[in-house]
Structure formats: C-alpha cells, structure tokens
Amino acid sequence: MKVVLPGGTGQVGAILDRALTAAGHEVTVVTRSPSRPHDLRWDGTALGPWAEAVDGCDVVVNLAGRSVSCRYTEKNLRAMMDSRVDSARVVGEAIAAAARPPRVWLQMSTATVYAHSFDTANDEATGAIGGSEAGVPDHWAYSVEIAKNWERAQAEAPTPATRKVALRSAMVMSPDRGGVFDVLSRLVRLGLGGPVAGGAQYVSWIHDQDFVRAVEFLIDRDDIEGPVNLASPEPLPHRDFMRALRTAWRVPAGLPATRWMAELGAFALRSDTELLLKSRRVVPGRLGAAGFAFAHPEWGRAAVSLVERARHGRPGRDADLLSQR
C-alpha cells in the first residue's frame, strides 16, 4: 500500500513509519521540516505539492498536532487546537480534491475526549464525553473541546469515496526515547515512580505493537467508520500502573508524590498535570466487538515486554509478536 502520514515525524509517527515500512508498504511523511527522502513539506494549513501524494495513495493517517506536553497557557492551548483542526481540515481538502482518493483516512483523535471517570469504563457507544465534570480544572474542558473540534473537522470533510475513522487513542507505550514510557521509566529508575495524588486515577494505555496492529486492522475492515477507541481492555489505577512498571524494572519502591508536588514537577518539566491526574478509564468496545485480539492486553506483562526492548535497544516488533502473525 501507499500510506501518507501527515505529522508522521513524532512519537506515534515513528512507530507507524517503522512498522509499515518494515511490512513492505510505501510510506510518505508530510512534515513542516522535511529531512529524509520520504518526507514532503507542508505547513499544516494549506494545500500544496504535498497533496499530490494523497492523490492515488491507499491510506492517510493524520497525526499532526502541536505536542500536548507543554504548559497549558492560552497561547499553547490555542496552538493545540488550531494545529489539529487546521491540519485535519486541509487533509480533508486534499482528499476531496484527489482524482483517486484514498480508500481510508484514519485521523488521530484522543481518549481524552471522555470524561474524568473512576467507576465507569467508557466505550464508544455508552461512554460519557467530558467537558462538564464538576471539580476539575477549567482547561480540562478545553482539551475535550479540542478533541471534539478535531473529530468534527474530519467528520465534516466532503470526502464521500473515503472511509473515515477517528482514532481515540490512549497513551501509546513504546520504548522510543522521549515517549511517555521512556519518561515514566526514567522516573521509576530514579526511585520517583510512586503514585501521584493518591494514584486512584485510571491510566488508559496501549502497547505500541497493538497500536500498529489496530491501525492495520482498521485499514482492512471496510465496515468500520467513525470513532474507535484504541486502548487496551484493561485500564488500571495509576498506583497499580506504576507498581507494575517498578516491578518490570525491578525497582522495589517509588516515592509517592502529592498533587502540589506533581504541579511543581509539571511546571519544572514545562508540562501540565492533566496528563497525570485526569482519570481516563477507556475501553476498546468497537475493536473488541469486531474481533480484534490484543497481543498485550494486560499492563504487567506489557510493561515487561517494553522494558525488555528498552534494555536491548530494540524499538520495533519483538519476536513474540512476530511469531503470532
């Protein structure tokens, strides 16, 4: 297949680029800073020569968006919104203008669209969309607004010949440098990987190999469109998530952090505590119903597999997964 990845230079893009190229597909990455032979330039807002790659391709997976790992200032929140909505809109325009449009457009969205939730697991059919929860910071509602506008930009694009799927992804865990697994692993190894603010908040996650397999599954399944949750079937409280990560790294203890310590840490790291404190209890209703089988459904074993790859410097597929294919 010919696959086009707008925004494919980041963490998720690297995972998909590597896996799809290894599987024999022809991958083109659309970026604001092209540096490799398979990169094309765009600005994320306007049509240009890059759109020729969309005409005649099989699949577009749009990953573009300003990183959410930043301080949630008004300027950054606006950039998070605009970069997502504008890039989804212009990808839609490229597909609409194509003489041979792709058969499927997978648009990144986020599991953050669901409400801050402890006791209810959110699937696509019955899950509560966030934004009106009581007692949470105002900007959490803005993150939900971003997700809703992002999905709307795809849904409203006039691309009748192209199936559209919004990927409501949980945190993608891979051993790549700078990704969320790498950052949490470093904290664990420094003895700082204890629960934050009590640790009752749920963590939704997906192993990178399952993320790739789910993308491949959704490319193949012509009967699935609209929002799809990409999250392991077993989200778990943050304190259990961190305990399993410590066990995988064989680190006996982790210093707990209070909410204000988390605020301080997030400030120092130029990030925001929403990423740590929002309870995301998201489950893969539609993938499950469609018969998708997770290779890494349970966090304890998934963490061991990721630690193993991190130790051996192997970011790609590992042997256990290849043997299942």
Per CB under 6 A, which of residues 196..235 are in contact with ligand NAP? none
230 touches 168 (CB < 8 A): yes
End-to-end CA distance of the chain: 18
Beta strands 202-203 and 236-237 are: antiparallel
Per CB under 6 A, which of residues 84..113 are in contact with ligand NAP? 87, 108, 110
Pairwise CA distance, residues 76 & 85, whole Å:
14
Q: Which listed range, 29-37, 124-132, 253-261, 288-296, lies at the site for ligand NAP (CB under 6 A)?
A: 29-37
User: Which residues are CB-contacts of 309 (< 8 A; sequence separation ≥ 6)?
Assistant: 175, 315, 318
Write down the least CB distance from residue 33 to ligand NAP, Å: 5
Binding-site string for ligand NAP from residue 4 to residue 23, where x marks contact by CB under 6 A and - marks none: ---x-xxxxx----------
Ordered alpha helix ranges (H), 156-249: 180-189, 208-220, 238-249
Q: Which of 171, 196, 197, 215 binds ligand NAP (CB under 6 A)?
A: 171
Count of positions on this chain that bind ligand NAP (CB under 6 A)? 24
Would you give the distance in Å from CA 282 to the centre of its chain?
13
Task: Pick between residue 142 and residue 252 the one whose CB is nearest to ligand NAP.
Answer: 142
Q: Which of 143, 169, 185, 232 binds ligand NAP (CB under 6 A)?
A: 169
Per CB under 6 A, which of residues 258..317 are in contact with ligand NAP? none
Write down the least CB distance from residue 54 to ligand NAP, Å: 15
Write down the least CB distance from residue 312 to ligand NAP, Å: 22
Q: Cα angle vertex 118, ends 134, 294, to 5°?
A: 135
Amino acid at 32: R
Question: Is 117 one of the binding residues for ligand NAP (CB under 6 A)?
Answer: no
Pairwise CA distance, residues 141 & 179, whole Å:
24
Question: Is 32 one of the binding residues for ligand NAP (CB under 6 A)?
Answer: yes
Footprint of ligand NAP (CB under 6 A) = 7, 9-13, 31-33, 44, 63-68, 83, 87, 108, 110, 169, 171-172, 180
